[in-house]
């Protein structure tokens, strides 16, 4: 992914609210499955890491990206933005 594409996705995500919150149980299989389904439906999602989570947001982002085969667009504070192109429901057209 190019820096121009990443900047475009960051711009799209700036107005979005997190749809998942990660707490003290950290990354569970159920959470991973939910994020995977949300990425297929929306392509771009935001995840919030709560203060009671013992893990680092960057580590969680890398783990989620690996498990869902997505790309970490941005980790800013406790917010993670993930992107994965949908197979059936393509909505976002990335710049070249």
Q: Is residue 95 part of a domain?
A: no
Domain enclosing residue 28, as ranges: 3-83
pLDDT in tens, 26-45: 888 999 999 999 999 999 99
CA distance 47 to 13: 11
* C-beta of residue 78 within 8 angstroms of C-beta of residue 50: yes
**pLDDT value of residue 95:** 84
CATH code for position 25: 3.30.110.60
pLDDT in tens, 40-66: 999 999 999 999 888 899 999 999 999
Percent of the chain residues past pLDDT 70, beyond the cut: 100
Helix or strand run (H / E) with residue 59: helix 57-68
Q: Is the pTM of this model over 0.85?
A: yes
Q: Which of 6, 93, 82, 94 lies closest to 37 in space, CA to CA?
A: 82
Q: Is residue 57 part of a domain?
A: yes
SS3 label, residue 31: helix
Who wins on pLDDT, 94 or 68? 68
Q: Is residue 89 part of a domain?
A: no
Q: Is residue 42 part of a domain?
A: yes
Helix or strand run (H / E) with residue 42: helix 29-42
């Amino acid at each position: 992914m190019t820096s121009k594409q990443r900047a475009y996705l960051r711009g799209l995500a700036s107005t979005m609210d997190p749809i998942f919150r990660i707490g003290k149980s950290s990354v569970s299989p159920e959470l991973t499955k939910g994020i995977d389904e949300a990425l297929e439906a929306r392509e771009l999602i935001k995840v919030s890491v709560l203060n009671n989570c013992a893990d680092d947001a960057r580590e969680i982002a890398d783990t989620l990206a690996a498990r869902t085969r997505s790309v970490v667009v941005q980790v800013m504070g406790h917010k993670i933005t993930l992107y994965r192109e949908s197979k059936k429901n393509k909505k976002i057209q990335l710049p070249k």
